[in-house]
Chains A and B, each alone.
Chain A
Amino acid sequence: MSILVGKRTRLVVQGITGGEGTFHTRQMMEYGTNVVAGVTPGKGGTTYQGNDRDPLPEGVPVYNTVAEAVAEQKANASVIFVPAAFAADAIIEAAAAGVGVIVCITEGIPTRDMLRAYDFVSRKGVRLIGPNCPGIITPGQCKVGIMPGFIHKQGHVGVVSRSGTLTYEAVWQLTERGIGQSTCIGIGGDPVIGTQFIDAVRLFGEDKDTHGIIMIGEIGGTAEEEAAEYIAAHVKKPVVGFIAGRTAPPGRRMGHAGAIIAGGKGTALEKMEAMRAAGIHVVENPALLGETMAKILKSKSNTRRIPARKSARKQARRPARTVRGKSTRGRRRRT
């Protein structure tokens, strides 16, 4: 099991004939992703074989619209490599065509455009990941994005992060210790993104095959705090967390449009504190993410410990604890 993408994913690549699109389509196909179609307006009806640098393992039918790709190839997921100026429209097109999961890799989409796309996607009830993200991978099954496939290993830890290379870092630390991953999601570093930490954490919490979660946040916004609150109330699996940007100065955008401490809010310390209060194992040093998860998974009780000082919350949580005492993970899925 895994979340959002897996063996049944039938992927359409929007912007397949561009340089980036071609390169990553090849990488995804070589990883084993079922790429069923590509979309490049004006090139419909052709079969794309890749370019000189990146020949594709097999030809991919190209369509003018996502709707055609869905109708003819039953595409159920889309990945977007189109330039920033056209990316919001590409998201909207995919959602309108009835694709269930949209992964937008494109960086630099104006916020105003993204709000429009976000609005449409949420009204359609479609799952959007990104934009400005590395994508999502279920190791051994399906890679939808730009992450290097070989660093991953099939297993039971869910990884969710705002950043690309920092996610790879965490994944690599796990894989080097022989710990595999159920699914890894890079949710993206923009102010407006489709899937938030809280959504990913909920999905991992409900996934039977995920036994532990690594959550890597960064400065700016309050998404980590919201996820921490959800974890405290609903997730019983161990969670290891890190927040990048303790040393970042306020008011400066640290690469990601969303990574900015504005008005004194969104500092790393605040977020780490909220995560600790939720019983998350917060590491101060990102080099310790894998090691910490390994220790927790090895220890007898791999359920999350709630710090004693949060006694005020105990009352509310008591019924849930009894359930945990009697076991059965399946029950959690109803909440």
Chain B
Amino acid sequence: MKVHEYQAKEILRQFHVATPAGRVAFSPDEAVRVAENLGGSLWVVKAQIHAGGRGKGGGVKVAKSLDEVREKADAMLGMRLVTHQTGPEGRIVKRLLIEEGIDIARELYVGVTLDRASSRNVVMASTEGGVEIEKVAAETPEKIIKEFVDRSIGFQPYQARAVAFGLGLSGDAFKNAVKFLLALYRAYQEMDCSLAEINPLVITRDGRVLALDAKINFDDNAVDRHPDVLTLRDLDEEDPLEVEASKSNLNYIKLDGNVGCMVNGAGLAMGTMDIIKLAGGQPANFLDVGGGASAETVESGFKIILADPNVRAVLINIFGGIVRCDRVASGVVEAAKKVDVQVPIVVRLAGTNADLAGDILRESGLNFLVAGSLKEAAEKVTQAIA
């Protein structure tokens, strides 16, 4: 689960991770009030969307007066912000973060995540702040400092010092950086994050160490034990069809293609998408209906797939193991009758009672294209979209 920058910073502050002072604003008036309360003579107006690269897209502006705060806030709220992470359709800005301006001496990078290869958490840092870390990793991997965290004892002070020295820090900045790193790791650990990334981490001229930006992702399997985090979910940032699907316990991700698919199991679902592409189509979605594949799940799956106007055909691929194919077939027939499907439907059911399922589909009076094997299913999809 993702949260906004301002929410991430509020969480980090609870763990004594230093951030610039600031607050969220939903209107230009509120933005000015926040700026007034912050005081000073320099503010930053930052668009709050769940995507990176906001600066380049015009989503981060400096204001030198309260009038300028109002002006920038007014321009930014409601704008369609397009960044390399939003896709061409961009995101509408509905919230702003108003922060005090910071006198920056250096910009660094620090991030905490799981290293899957070694099944350990890793604290990464780099002197190349503000730059995409993937770019640094690809072009100058020697510039990334990595401290792997022992699973039984956690992130240790000596490791924080190693990182701070590695970043070339000394004096107050060094001391503050060590504190910062230990606090950041504690937040990552205790809040069940899957990523805590500070880019840039800034060193001010007076030696303060601050999270100028903050990105936190939470482990979806653990958010239930953080009820406060659950309330931070912003449905405006999610695809409406995906939100609808999650209500029916379906695992759906909308894509840009023309062939919808409904599959049981995540791996088989991805494999089915790949087959659609090989058959000359483009997958319109990822949809894992889970182990059950009951009539109700199939029906909600249909509704969600067909709500996407780009869909020209649907491929249903269910491997009936413990679920019986004849039951799935009856579910498909019932659902298709209810939903009034206008596009060709290719159905491939394999496994338990697959023959019986084929008969049910053929005798339903509905126009299903029934496939026996995965290969045949691909051929039928090609026909259907030709």
Q: Which residues of A pack against B, CB within 8 Å?
A: 23, 27, 84-85, 108-113, 115-116, 118-119, 146-148, 150-151, 161-169, 172-173, 189, 191-192, 216, 218-223, 226, 242, 244-249, 251-259, 263-265, 268, 284-288
Contacts and interface: CB of A to CB of B under 8 A. Distances in A.
A188 B373 CA distance: 25
B222 A169 contact: no
A248 B286 contact: yes
Contacts of B222: 110-113
Interface stretch (B116-124, B167-175, B358-366): B116-124
Nearest to B276: A247
Contacts of A285: 274-275, 278, 374-375, 378
Interface stretch (B176-184, B203-211, B264-272, B339-347): B264-272
B253 A252 contact: yes
A309 B252 CA distance: 41
Given A163-B268, A244-B274, A257-B220, A148 B351 contact: yes
Contact of B271 (A108, A220, A244): A244
A168 to B, nearest CB: 5
Contacts of A118: 119, 151
Contact of A115 (B138, B151, B264, B273): B151
A218 B322 contact: no
Nearest to A151: B351
Contacts of B265: 163-166, 255
Interface in B199-256: 219-222, 225, 251, 253, 255
A230 B137 CA distance: 24
Contact of B114 (A111, A116, A246, A253): A111
A333 to B, nearest CB: 26
B288 interface: yes
Interface of B: 85, 114, 116-117, 119-121, 133-134, 137-138, 151-152, 189, 192, 194, 219-222, 225, 251, 253, 255, 257, 263-271, 273-278, 282-283, 286, 288, 319-322, 350-352, 373-375, 377-378
Contacts of A146: 321-322
A167 B267 CA distance: 9
A334 to B, nearest CB: 26
A113 to B, nearest CB: 8
30 contacts: A109-B221, A111-B192, A113-B222, A116-B151, A118-B151, A163-B268, A163-B270, A164-B265, A164-B268, A166-B267, A169-B271, A222-B116, A223-B117, A242-B271, A246-B277, A247-B270, A247-B273, A247-B274, A247-B282, A255-B269, A257-B220, A257-B221, A258-B116, A259-B266, A263-B134, A265-B134, A286-B271, A287-B374, A287-B378, A288-B375
Given A112-B189, A287-B275, A162 B267 contact: yes
Counting chain B CB atoms within 10 Å of each CB, the highest count among A147, A168, A265 belongs to: A168
Counting chain A CB atoms within 10 Å of each CB, the highest count among B121, B264, B288, B351 belongs to: B351
Counting chain B CB atoms within 10 Å of each CB, the highest count among A167, A169, A242 belongs to: A169
Contact of B351 (A115, A172, A218): A172
Counting chain B CB atoms within 10 Å of each CB, the highest count among A146, A191, A219, A257 belongs to: A191
Q: Is chain B's interface secondary structure helix, strand, loop, or mixed overall?
A: mixed
Q: Which 8 A-B pairs have the closest CB atoms?
A: A163-B267, A255-B266, A165-B265, A148-B321, A110-B222, A166-B267, A287-B374, A244-B270
A135 B100 CA distance: 54
A144 B34 CA distance: 60
A221 B322 contact: no
Contact of A189 (B194, B266, B352, B378): B266
A84 B221 contact: yes
B116 A169 contact: no
B242 to A, nearest CB: 10
Given A151-B351, A163-B265, A256-B266, A247 B374 contact: no
A92 B172 CA distance: 43
B72 to A, nearest CB: 29
A76 to B, nearest CB: 25
B151 A119 contact: yes
A196 to B, nearest CB: 9
